[in-house]
């Protein structure tokens, strides 16, 4: 059952997911001990390769690796420079030469962690690639939900916001569906694509979505910086139409719904300030659970294997001298 890489949720089997969530529970129990470190990954090296800045995910992985006694290195990336595939390729060659055991990678291009995984012997963990996948976020979301609903089958999660650009929406909804949770999307028509999975109901009206009777309301971060064109008229209008306003929070509270958010929160956009003090907000639980889930993932993966796994670019070009001339 051992895997080399964790690149997405779609390819994970249900048993693997259950196993990882169980392991996360065990790791979380360690947190109450005075010595939080265990020697599981002693002598192993974890390399952090973040082409997109992310304090939250980055530090969560770093803490997780250190609690497993791994050595953590940050590969410095100049975030102002263009990091296209070609420069990444040079980096991969360097990394392979360093024989690092794990690479935790985040990049704006979908599919790029997979490319690294094929070209190195290291275990590659996708910490978010473009609008494709964010598997550890999905695992920590599922873990957080299972803490409240030990048997989550049949529970309903309403994901609100920018579905089009969200790797969180894709991975979390895929994982929740694998666990028998029902998922629905709500957001502006320009950000909830019609060609998304047919098994996920799609709402553009808040009242209609609430009538679907969710147990959890999951707000996505509005990635204002990611939108190369305007998808909705204004942040104010977004908050009014799709956000959790004070009035809506009162209703959510009455109905006893949980609120989640992958962070960092745009206050006054996805949700009003009062949500931060709402007793059924699971936002800080998500952050805390991120560490144990990532420990479980690191502990589970097995670095090594053949190299190179894809020889495409290693093939030398045919010399032009072999071409027959008249």
Which of 1, 2, 97, 323 is in the footprint of other proteins by CB under 8 A?
323
Which of 1, 35, 97, 325 is in the footprint of other proteins by CB under 8 A?
325
Minimum distance of other proteins from residue 109's CB (angstroms)? 4
The 3-state secondary structure of 80-113 reads: CCCCCHHHHHHHHHHHHHHCCCEEEEEECCCCHH
Site for other proteins in 75-94 (CB under 8 A): 84-86, 88-89
Which of 148, 190, 141 has its CA nearest to residue 165? 190
Which of 3, 58, 66, 109 is in the footprint of other proteins by CB under 8 A?
109
What is the distance between the alpha carbons of residues 29 and 27, in angstroms, rounded to a whole number?
Answer: 5
Which of 43, 150, 256, 326 is in the footprint of other proteins by CB under 8 A?
326
Structure tokens at 68: 């497993």
What is the distance between the alpha carbons of residues 71 and 62, in angstroms, rounded to a whole number?
Answer: 9
By CB neighbour count within 10 A (0-12 exposed, 13-18 middle, 19+ buried), where does 196 fall?
A: middle
Closest CB to other proteins among residues 2, 325: 325
Site for other proteins in 208-267 (CB under 8 A): none
What is the distance between the alpha carbons of residues 137 and 131, in angstroms, rounded to a whole number?
Answer: 13
Residue 97 found at the interface with other proteins (CB under 8 A) = no
Minimum distance of other proteins from residue 93's CB (angstroms)? 12
How crowded is the C-beta side of 170, counted as CA atoms within 13 Å?
A: 21
Which of 132, 146, 156, 294 is in the footprint of other proteins by CB under 8 A?
132
Residue 195 found at the interface with other proteins (CB under 8 A) = yes
Closest CB to other proteins among residues 58, 202: 202
How crowded is the C-beta side of 51, counted as CA atoms within 13 Å?
A: 21
DSSP string, 20-70: HHHHHHHHHHHTTSS-----TTTT-EEEEEESS--HHHHHHHHHHHHHTT-
Q: Is-contact 137 262, C-beta < 8 A?
A: yes
Site for other proteins in 163-182 (CB under 8 A): 167, 170
Which of 71, 111, 177, 227 is in the footprint of other proteins by CB under 8 A?
111
Minimum distance of other proteins from residue 278's CB (angstroms)? 31
Question: Per CB under 8 A, which region of 18-26, 57-65, 265-273, 305-313 contacts other proteins?
Answer: 305-313
Minimum distance of other proteins from residue 289's CB (angstroms)? 24
Which of 96, 110, 190, 266 is in the footprint of other proteins by CB under 8 A?
110
By CB neighbour count within 10 A (0-12 exposed, 13-18 middle, 19+ buried), where does 69 fall?
A: middle
Q: Which residues bind other proteins (CB under 8 A)?
A: 10, 84-86, 88-89, 109-112, 114-115, 129-133, 167, 170, 193, 195-197, 310, 312-313, 315, 317-318, 320, 323-326
């Amino acid at each position: 059952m051992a895997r080399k890489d964790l690149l997405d949720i779609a390819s994970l089997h249900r048993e693997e997911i259950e196993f990882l969530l169980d392991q996360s529970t065990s790791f979380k129990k360690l947190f109450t001990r005075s010595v939080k470190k265990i020697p599981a990954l002693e002598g192993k090296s974890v390399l952090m390769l973040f082409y997109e800045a992310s304090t939250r995910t980055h530090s969560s992985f770093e803490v997780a690796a250190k609690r497993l006694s791994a050595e953590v290195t940050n590969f410095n990336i100049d975030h102002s420079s263009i990091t296209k595939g070609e420069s990444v390729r040079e980096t991969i060659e360097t990394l392979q030469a360093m024989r690092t055991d794990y690479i935790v990678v985040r990049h704006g291009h979908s599919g790029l962690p997979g490319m690294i995984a094929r070209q190195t012997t290291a275990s590659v963990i996708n910490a978010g690639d473009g609008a494709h996948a964010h598997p550890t976020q999905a695992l920590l979301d599922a873990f957080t939900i299972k803490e409240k609903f030990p048997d989550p089958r049949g529970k309903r999660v309403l994901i609100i916001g920018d579905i089009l650009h969200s790797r969180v929406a894709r991975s979390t909804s895929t994982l929740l569906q694998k666990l028998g949770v029902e998922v629905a999307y709500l957001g502006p028509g320009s950000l909830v694509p019609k060609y998304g999975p047919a098994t996920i109901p799609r709402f553009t009206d808040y009242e209609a979505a609430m009538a679907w009777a969710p147990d959890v309301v999951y707000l996505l971060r509005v990635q204002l910086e990611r939108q190369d064109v305007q998808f909705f008229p204004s942040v104010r209008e977004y908050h009014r139409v799709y956000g959790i306003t004070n009035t809506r929070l009162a209703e959510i509270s009455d109905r006893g719904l949980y609120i989640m958010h992958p962070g960092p929160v745009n206050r006054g956009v996805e949700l009003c300030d009062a949500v931060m003090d709402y007793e059924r907000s699971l936002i800080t639980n998500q952050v805390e659970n991120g560490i144990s889930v990532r420990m479980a993932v690191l502990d589970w993966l097995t670095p090594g294997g053949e190299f190179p796994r894809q020889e495409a670019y290693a093939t030398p070009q045919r010399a032009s001298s072999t071409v027959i001339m008249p």
